[in-house]
Amino acid sequence: MTVCMAPCPVVFDLDGTLIDSAPDIHACVNAVLTQHGVAPLTLDRVRSFVGGGVEVLWARIASATGLDAEQRRDMMASFMVRYHDATRLTRLFPGVTEALGALADRGHPLGICTNKPLGPTHAVLDHFGIRQIFGVVIGGDSLPEKKPDPAPLRAAFAALGADPAAPQALYVGDSEFDATCAAAVPVPFLIYSRGYRLTPIDQLPHRAVFDDFAHLPGLIEAHAAA
Protein backbone atom coordinates (compact mmCIF):
# COMPACT_ATOMS: atom_id res chain seq x y z
CA MET A 1 0.00 0.00 0.00
CA THR A 2 1.22 3.52 -0.82
CA VAL A 3 0.81 6.59 1.31
CA CYS A 4 -0.35 9.74 -0.50
CA MET A 5 2.59 12.18 -0.33
CA ALA A 6 0.65 15.02 -1.94
CA PRO A 7 -3.11 15.66 -1.85
CA CYS A 8 -4.62 13.53 -4.60
CA PRO A 9 -6.32 15.08 -7.64
CA VAL A 10 -10.10 14.63 -7.67
CA VAL A 11 -12.21 15.12 -10.81
CA PHE A 12 -16.00 15.42 -10.56
CA ASP A 13 -18.90 14.76 -12.88
CA LEU A 14 -21.50 17.58 -12.78
CA ASP A 15 -25.16 16.67 -13.56
CA GLY A 16 -26.50 14.25 -10.96
CA THR A 17 -23.25 14.49 -8.95
CA LEU A 18 -22.61 18.08 -7.82
CA ILE A 19 -25.89 19.55 -9.10
CA ASP A 20 -29.50 18.45 -9.42
CA SER A 21 -30.06 20.01 -12.84
CA ALA A 22 -32.78 17.66 -14.12
CA PRO A 23 -35.58 20.17 -13.31
CA ASP A 24 -33.99 22.81 -15.58
CA ILE A 25 -33.25 20.26 -18.34
CA HIS A 26 -36.86 19.01 -18.04
CA ALA A 27 -38.26 22.57 -18.25
CA CYS A 28 -36.15 23.39 -21.35
CA VAL A 29 -37.12 20.11 -23.05
CA ASN A 30 -40.83 20.60 -22.39
CA ALA A 31 -40.78 24.23 -23.51
CA VAL A 32 -39.39 23.08 -26.87
CA LEU A 33 -41.71 20.06 -27.21
CA THR A 34 -44.78 22.17 -26.38
CA GLN A 35 -43.69 24.88 -28.82
CA HIS A 36 -43.63 22.19 -31.54
CA GLY A 37 -47.00 20.67 -30.55
CA VAL A 38 -45.48 17.54 -28.95
CA ALA A 39 -46.82 16.29 -25.59
CA PRO A 40 -44.52 17.07 -22.63
CA LEU A 41 -42.51 14.39 -20.81
CA THR A 42 -42.40 13.79 -17.04
CA LEU A 43 -39.43 14.86 -14.91
CA ASP A 44 -38.59 11.20 -14.14
CA ARG A 45 -38.52 10.35 -17.84
CA VAL A 46 -36.28 13.27 -18.79
CA ARG A 47 -33.98 12.60 -15.81
CA SER A 48 -33.57 9.02 -17.05
CA PHE A 49 -32.31 10.42 -20.39
CA VAL A 50 -29.51 12.54 -18.82
CA GLY A 51 -25.88 11.42 -18.63
CA GLY A 52 -24.67 11.05 -22.21
CA GLY A 53 -24.84 14.71 -23.23
CA VAL A 54 -27.26 16.70 -25.37
CA GLU A 55 -27.17 14.46 -28.48
CA VAL A 56 -27.95 11.35 -26.42
CA LEU A 57 -30.71 13.25 -24.57
CA TRP A 58 -32.39 14.22 -27.86
CA ALA A 59 -31.90 10.77 -29.39
CA ARG A 60 -33.79 9.37 -26.40
CA ILE A 61 -36.48 12.07 -26.60
CA ALA A 62 -36.86 11.41 -30.34
CA SER A 63 -37.40 7.70 -29.83
CA ALA A 64 -39.82 8.33 -26.92
CA THR A 65 -41.92 10.84 -28.87
CA GLY A 66 -41.47 9.67 -32.48
CA LEU A 67 -39.59 12.72 -33.81
CA ASP A 68 -38.02 12.45 -37.26
CA ALA A 69 -34.39 13.47 -37.87
CA GLU A 70 -35.26 17.00 -39.02
CA GLN A 71 -37.59 17.69 -36.08
CA ARG A 72 -34.95 16.37 -33.71
CA ARG A 73 -32.25 18.62 -35.18
CA ASP A 74 -34.48 21.73 -35.06
CA MET A 75 -35.69 21.03 -31.54
CA MET A 76 -32.18 20.34 -30.26
CA ALA A 77 -31.08 23.72 -31.64
CA SER A 78 -34.01 25.49 -29.87
CA PHE A 79 -33.19 23.55 -26.70
CA MET A 80 -29.56 24.78 -26.75
CA VAL A 81 -30.71 28.42 -26.80
CA ARG A 82 -32.75 27.85 -23.62
CA TYR A 83 -30.26 25.49 -21.98
CA HIS A 84 -27.31 27.86 -22.38
CA ASP A 85 -28.03 29.72 -19.13
CA ALA A 86 -30.69 27.53 -17.47
CA THR A 87 -29.95 27.70 -13.73
CA ARG A 88 -33.24 28.83 -12.12
CA LEU A 89 -34.43 25.34 -11.09
CA THR A 90 -30.96 23.82 -10.50
CA ARG A 91 -29.66 23.16 -6.98
CA LEU A 92 -26.34 21.97 -5.57
CA PHE A 93 -26.78 18.63 -3.82
CA PRO A 94 -26.65 19.05 0.00
CA GLY A 95 -23.14 19.46 1.40
CA VAL A 96 -21.41 20.01 -1.97
CA THR A 97 -20.09 23.51 -1.20
CA GLU A 98 -18.68 22.41 2.15
CA ALA A 99 -17.10 19.24 0.71
CA LEU A 100 -15.44 21.12 -2.17
CA GLY A 101 -14.20 23.77 0.26
CA ALA A 102 -12.74 21.14 2.60
CA LEU A 103 -10.95 19.35 -0.26
CA ALA A 104 -9.58 22.62 -1.68
CA ASP A 105 -8.39 23.69 1.80
CA ARG A 106 -6.51 20.40 2.09
CA GLY A 107 -4.79 21.15 -1.24
CA HIS A 108 -6.49 18.59 -3.51
CA PRO A 109 -6.35 19.72 -7.17
CA LEU A 110 -10.01 19.66 -8.30
CA GLY A 111 -11.53 19.35 -11.78
CA ILE A 112 -14.79 18.80 -13.65
CA CYS A 113 -15.36 16.30 -16.46
CA THR A 114 -18.97 16.50 -17.65
CA ASN A 115 -20.91 15.60 -20.78
CA LYS A 116 -22.87 18.87 -20.33
CA PRO A 117 -21.74 21.41 -22.95
CA LEU A 118 -19.28 24.07 -21.71
CA GLY A 119 -21.74 26.98 -22.10
CA PRO A 120 -24.33 25.74 -19.58
CA THR A 121 -21.54 24.21 -17.46
CA HIS A 122 -19.85 27.60 -16.99
CA ALA A 123 -23.23 29.28 -16.42
CA VAL A 124 -24.13 26.91 -13.60
CA LEU A 125 -20.67 26.99 -11.98
CA ASP A 126 -20.76 30.82 -12.05
CA HIS A 127 -24.35 30.82 -10.73
CA PHE A 128 -23.22 28.91 -7.64
CA GLY A 129 -19.89 30.79 -7.38
CA ILE A 130 -17.80 27.59 -7.54
CA ARG A 131 -16.05 27.90 -10.93
CA GLN A 132 -12.75 29.16 -9.50
CA ILE A 133 -12.32 26.16 -7.22
CA PHE A 134 -11.70 23.93 -10.26
CA GLY A 135 -8.32 23.87 -11.98
CA VAL A 136 -9.88 22.43 -15.13
CA VAL A 137 -13.38 22.16 -16.58
CA ILE A 138 -13.87 19.72 -19.47
CA GLY A 139 -17.34 19.87 -21.05
CA GLY A 140 -19.19 17.58 -23.45
CA ASP A 141 -18.07 19.73 -26.39
CA SER A 142 -14.47 20.33 -25.26
CA LEU A 143 -13.19 17.33 -27.23
CA PRO A 144 -14.57 15.28 -30.15
CA GLU A 145 -15.09 12.39 -27.68
CA LYS A 146 -17.55 12.26 -24.78
CA LYS A 147 -17.76 9.94 -21.76
CA PRO A 148 -17.79 6.92 -21.65
CA ASP A 149 -14.78 7.43 -23.97
CA PRO A 150 -11.80 7.90 -21.61
CA ALA A 151 -10.34 10.88 -23.56
CA PRO A 152 -12.16 13.72 -21.71
CA LEU A 153 -11.32 12.33 -18.27
CA ARG A 154 -7.70 11.74 -19.26
CA ALA A 155 -7.58 15.35 -20.51
CA ALA A 156 -8.94 16.59 -17.16
CA PHE A 157 -6.23 14.77 -15.18
CA ALA A 158 -3.55 15.92 -17.64
CA ALA A 159 -4.65 19.55 -17.22
CA LEU A 160 -4.31 19.14 -13.44
CA GLY A 161 -0.78 17.89 -14.04
CA ALA A 162 -1.83 14.52 -12.66
CA ASP A 163 -1.28 10.98 -13.80
CA PRO A 164 -4.63 9.11 -13.50
CA ALA A 165 -2.62 5.91 -13.21
CA ALA A 166 -1.19 7.20 -9.91
CA PRO A 167 -3.03 5.20 -7.27
CA GLN A 168 -4.43 8.22 -5.45
CA ALA A 169 -6.24 9.94 -8.35
CA LEU A 170 -10.05 9.74 -8.18
CA TYR A 171 -13.12 10.34 -10.32
CA VAL A 172 -16.44 11.07 -8.60
CA GLY A 173 -19.67 10.61 -10.56
CA ASP A 174 -23.21 9.28 -10.60
CA SER A 175 -23.86 7.36 -13.81
CA GLU A 176 -23.14 4.40 -16.04
CA PHE A 177 -21.27 6.78 -18.38
CA ASP A 178 -18.96 7.79 -15.51
CA ALA A 179 -18.33 4.24 -14.26
CA THR A 180 -17.47 2.98 -17.75
CA CYS A 181 -15.28 6.00 -18.47
CA ALA A 182 -13.36 5.66 -15.19
CA ALA A 183 -12.76 1.95 -15.83
CA ALA A 184 -11.45 2.77 -19.32
CA VAL A 185 -8.99 5.49 -18.14
CA PRO A 186 -8.42 3.59 -15.71
CA VAL A 187 -8.93 5.55 -12.48
CA PRO A 188 -10.70 4.58 -9.23
CA PHE A 189 -14.36 5.68 -9.23
CA LEU A 190 -16.44 6.92 -6.31
CA ILE A 191 -20.18 6.80 -6.99
CA TYR A 192 -22.74 9.26 -5.56
CA SER A 193 -25.82 7.11 -5.01
CA ARG A 194 -28.43 9.92 -5.13
CA GLY A 195 -27.74 10.92 -8.75
CA TYR A 196 -29.28 9.88 -12.09
CA ARG A 197 -27.98 6.30 -12.36
CA LEU A 198 -30.45 3.68 -13.67
CA THR A 199 -28.31 0.54 -13.11
CA PRO A 200 -27.98 -1.06 -9.63
CA ILE A 201 -24.72 0.07 -8.00
CA ASP A 202 -23.39 -3.48 -7.63
CA GLN A 203 -23.46 -3.84 -11.43
CA LEU A 204 -21.18 -0.81 -11.95
CA PRO A 205 -17.41 -0.89 -11.39
CA HIS A 206 -16.60 1.41 -8.46
CA ARG A 207 -14.14 1.81 -5.57
CA ALA A 208 -16.67 3.15 -3.05
CA VAL A 209 -20.17 4.57 -2.79
CA PHE A 210 -21.47 7.55 -0.77
CA ASP A 211 -24.90 9.09 -0.30
CA ASP A 212 -23.92 12.26 1.60
CA PHE A 213 -21.27 14.83 0.61
CA ALA A 214 -20.46 15.28 4.29
CA HIS A 215 -18.75 11.85 4.06
CA LEU A 216 -16.76 12.56 0.88
CA PRO A 217 -13.66 14.32 2.30
CA GLY A 218 -13.18 11.48 4.83
CA LEU A 219 -13.68 8.86 2.11
CA ILE A 220 -11.07 10.55 -0.07
CA GLU A 221 -8.54 10.83 2.77
CA ALA A 222 -9.08 7.13 3.54
CA HIS A 223 -8.52 6.27 -0.13
CA ALA A 224 -5.39 8.42 -0.31
CA ALA A 225 -3.91 6.76 2.78
CA ALA A 226 -4.76 3.21 1.67
Ligand X SMILES: O=C(O)COP(=O)(O)O
Pick what 53 binds: Mg ion, ligand X, none; C-beta below 5 to 8 Å, kind-dependent: ligand X
Measured distance CA(34)–CA(80) in Å, rounded: 15
Applying the rule CB under 6 A, the residues between 37 and 96 that interact with ligand X are: 50-53, 57
212 a catalytic residue: no
Angle of helix 54-65 versus helix 22-35 axis, rounded to 10: 50
Q: Which is nearer to Mg ion, 7 or 53 (CB)?
A: 53
28 belongs to the binding site for ligand X (CB under 6 A): no
| Amino acid present at 164 | P
Binding residues: 13, 15, 174
Pick what 57 binds: ligand X, Mg ion, none; C-beta below 5 to 8 Å, kind-dependent: ligand X
Q: Which is nearer to ligand X, 60 or 108 (CB)?
A: 60
176 belongs to the binding site for ligand X (CB under 6 A): no
Q: Which region, judged by CB under 6 A, interacts with ligand X, from 10-18, 101-109, 127-135, 155-163?
A: 10-18
Q: Which is nearer to Mg ion, 141 or 221 (CB)?
A: 141
Site of interaction with ligand X (CB under 6 A):
13-16, 50-53, 57, 114-116, 175
Enumerate binding residues for Mg ion (CB under 5 A).
Answer: 13, 15-16, 174-175
Residue numbers annotated as active site: 13
